[in-house]
Amino acid sequence: MHERPADPLAALSAEHAALLVIDVQERFAGSIAGWSVLLERVAALCDGARALSVPIAATEQYVKGLGHTADPVKAAMGSNSPLVEKMRFSALTPEIRSWFDRTGRRQLILCGIEAHVCVLQTALDARRSGIPTWLATDAISAGQQDQIAPAMHRMQRAGCTPTGVVSGLYEMAGTAEHPMFKQVLAAAKRSLAAHQ
């Protein structure tokens, strides 16, 4: 039996969304394609999500070997966002699933690394669980750049909806009259300033 894919026309909503940052850890700095750009875009997404009161959590793969979440991302997430260590590749661990359930949110936005391993397996787990899932495509990377596009294609085939950092933030804000729009605009400018 095939899962019904998420409606690609469904609106991403600040009231319904939660953001999961996957394994953006300091020791990946030398091996991930466009590392500095990735850091800025993930941090910008976190800045905007916090401004819109979107809950944020992050996972950390094998902390002993790979270190903790990179400082710019950790700072942008804020001190109330949980950091969950994991060994399995999917970030939809029991702890993260429990966090997501406690938020009461129904939509999940994914960003981080690596596209073809942890992000992919998280996305597939989320879709198997019936969670409408968005991919912040410009805030996802991998060590092997040629693996990113096939992973994105597979996640979209599984029913995930692609978006970008700026597009997702503006969609969640909905209007320039949003009381936090200046903060969203600042986050969008931070993302746009990052370039390869």
Mean pLDDT per segment of 10 residues, for the chain of length 196 residues? 52 96 94 95 97 98 94 96 97 98 97 98 97 97 96 97 97 95 94 81
CB-CB neighbours of 124 under 10 Å: 19
* Model pTM score: 0.94
pLDDT computed for residue 10 by the predictor: 77
The predicted pLDDT at position 196 comes to 53
Give the other-Cβ count within 10 Å of 181's Cβ: 18
Task: Name the residue with tokens 């966090």.
Answer: 99
The three-state (H, E, C) secondary structure of the chain, written as one string: CCCCCCCCCCCCCCCCEEEEEECCEHHHCCCCCCHHHHHHHHHHHHHHHHHCCCCEEEEEECHHHHCCECHHHHHHHCCCCCEEEECCCCCCCHHHHHHHHHHCCCEEEEEEECHHHHHHHHHHHHHHCCCCEEEEEEEEECCCHHHHHHHHHHHHHCCCEEECHHHHHHHHHCCCCCCCHHHHHHHHHHHHHCCC
* pLDDT, tens digit, 9 for 90 and up, residues 76-91: 999 999 999 999 999 9
What are 65's two structure tokens?
A: 């070997």
Q: What is the pLDDT of residue 30?
A: 87
